[in-house]
Amino acid sequence: MKKIKLALLIILSVIILAGCGKSAKEEFFDYTKKNVTENSSNDISMTIKDIKLTADMKDSPEANVMITQLKDIKVTGSMQHDVSEKATNTKLNIEALGQKIPLEFISKNDDMYFSLDIFRGISKIASQFNSELPSDEKTLSAFDGKYLKLSDADTLEIDSKSATNLTKEFQKEVSNYFTSLDEERFTKENDVVTFKLTKKDVVVLAEKFNTLSKSKKEYKEFVIPDFDEMIKNLPKALDVKFNLNTKTNDLAVALTSTFDKKDEGFIDSIEVLYNYKPNDKQVAIKLPAKKEIVNVKEIEAILAPYLSDELDEELDEELDEELDEELDGDFNMADDEFKELVKELEKEDFSSFSAAESDELLEEYEPLLTEKQYKTIEKIFKNK
């Protein structure tokens, strides 16, 4: 999940860079400056233009069905920005697996609200995979028109104020980086300015983000763990192409990822298109009313009857994994526990046990015992 967040942060930071001037490079930054210093409203969309399968999977019916389903995914909506109120409203409609899922974020200053109307669509999709999510009208209606306040301490495990400050500082780093780039990387034909990002740029920006996260104690929670491994696992090639129409202010972004054959996946490359087009739908951004806001505990209470069994199963699996790790490691039975075990075994009658059954019992005890303890137990079994 952190890889995805990092990529989105880098792309969005490029879009809101500041600058001035009239060269192709400067015209690009004029647009981005305008987007953050003036009120704006844009229609936005996302589609998957193309997905190429690896050579060995081109004839796979299952892979081709999956590719068709992925290509059918579409995202449309609008994004509105009110500078004076420091507020934004993003409304999206996601079309996937025959369902339309509404997605809405409203933010003002450091507060962000997430619409729970999304739950109906998710429940319908989950039912196709035999999920235990609720689908009855009473439960679903409890989420209608409600919002979760993401900036609440019990919702996010991060400090929202620190996140805001880090984002602002990172945007400055991004601005400085792109200001330093050669003019030749920005070209203009007719009214369209074109600019390209490469994997090298993404890696440089990722390094800047991680360095910045390490620079202050308040940013420590945002440091990317296993950073080198994350960079190593990036696609073989990343290309982000920006096409800005300086006359209409339409912005088209094409993100192409090409994967290494060593990744053992079935996708060779994928191209995703994003479009931002100004509209005249600017209206006052309204925050959710107090009665429309719910917290995590209220959501958990609604879902409790459906999630209890699933959570129990997950807990059992976690306990089993922990036990397996202990048995595979250096775990040994404590002396006092071993003494109690010996007492119990000495009371038992193993005379009817065959050699094979005794050996099977010894195998079960062996991971828990030291060599000396094992010999003691072995002697008990053989003497019975």
Per DSSP, the residues of 221-264 read GGSPTTHHHHHHTS-SEEEEEEEEETTT--EEEEEEEE--GGG-
Question: For residue 251, which of 21, 9, 29, 103 has the smallest C-alpha distance?
Answer: 29
Count Cβ atoms below 10 Å from residue 67 Cβ, excluding itself.
20
User: Which residues of the chain are under the pLDDT cut of 70?
Assistant: 1-22, 35-36, 128-135, 151-160, 263-264, 305-334, 347-353, 364, 382-384
Half-sphere exposure of residue 75, counting CA atoms within 13 Å on the CB side? 19
pLDDT at 26: 81
pLDDT at 12: 52
Tens of pLDDT along 37-62? 778 889 999 999 999 988 888 878 88
- pTM beyond 0.75: the answer is no
Kind plus residue range of the DSSP H or E element containing 319: helix 296-328
Tens of pLDDT along 106-127? 988 878 888 988 888 887 777 7
pLDDT at 71: 87
With beta carbons less than 8 A apart as the criterion, state whether 162 and 221 touch. yes
pLDDT at 10: 52
The mean predicted confidence, pLDDT, of the chain is 78
> How far apart, in whole angstroms, are the C-alpha atoms of residue 252 and residue 242?
6
pLDDT at 194: 93
